Chains A and B, each alone.
Chain A
């Protein structure tokens, strides 16, 4: 897919509410579109965190391995961000992402975008603000799950 088409996708995405047109173009420049078949592992625990994703269609399960078995901590779908939080950490992925259905996503070069953040802090501000929103939602969801467990 050509870069201009990726830019069009991004401009029509809810992300466009937080990123200005110029910043969306910067995101598009480090994006490529990727496909994963059902059952494919998108990334594994311990993998390097150079890439993050925006799911365009399909479903993805986030899984953490416990000492005894794997546990599905969340499922993500169209419009959701995937793997964003790990990009900030330098210690590898903390969970695995698996395609539950055929998945179409935009993959971003996180290492390059973090470099762009340092060079253009207004872009960095927008990206971090979106990341905060994503992590806040996920944290809230996880705490509600914890609460359900404790309350049952």
Chain B
């Protein structure tokens, strides 16, 4: 599915400055960015298209450049429920970092969405080869996950606290 949306040929030259300027990679050493850009490619999704699906192999993360993405879970009686919406500059997907490396939810583009996909296997390999890079990368993913955990917990408290 991913393959059709890759814009090969433009990736290597143009993606590095975009990654460097993103809030997520702020402060990352230039030499690491040069390694990471090798894992990056441009992807596009139409409105309504699934970016990732629950239960499928998790093999990438996405830095959203434009558009809007809904994270959805499936409730038995209600169908899909949006648990969070992500937009420009935000990062989607970390299950490629955590065993058993499959997605725990669906993510769907609610608008036409452009993103940079970072290949999970490529990131894992580079992290294992250079643990300084791995540490810098994991630290960043840990922070956004902690923020989302806090947000989800407050969401739960607000529902009950009425």
Contact = CB atoms under 8 A, between A and B. Distances in A.
Interface in A87-111: 88-89, 94-95
A64 to B, nearest CB: 5
Interface string B132-160: 10111011011101101110111111111
A64 B75 contact: no
Interface stretch (A32-40, A51-59, A68-76): A68-76
Given A94-B150, A151-B77, A124 B139 contact: yes
A94 B73 CA distance: 25
A151 B73 CA distance: 11
Contact of B145 (A69, A136, A143): A136
B interface, size bucket:
35 or more
Interface string B50-82: 000000000000000000000001011110010
Contact of A89 (B78, B99, B132, B146): B146
Interface string B110-148: 000000000000000001000110111011011101101
A129 B73 CA distance: 25
Interface of A: 64, 66-69, 71, 73, 85-86, 88-89, 94-95, 117, 121-122, 124-125, 128-129, 131-133, 135-136, 138-140, 142-151
Given A66-B160, A66-B161, A145-B156, 17 more contacts: A66-B158, A71-B157, A94-B153, A95-B153, A122-B131, A128-B139, A129-B138, A132-B98, A139-B148, A142-B156, A143-B152, A146-B73, A146-B81, A146-B83, A147-B75, A147-B83, A149-B160
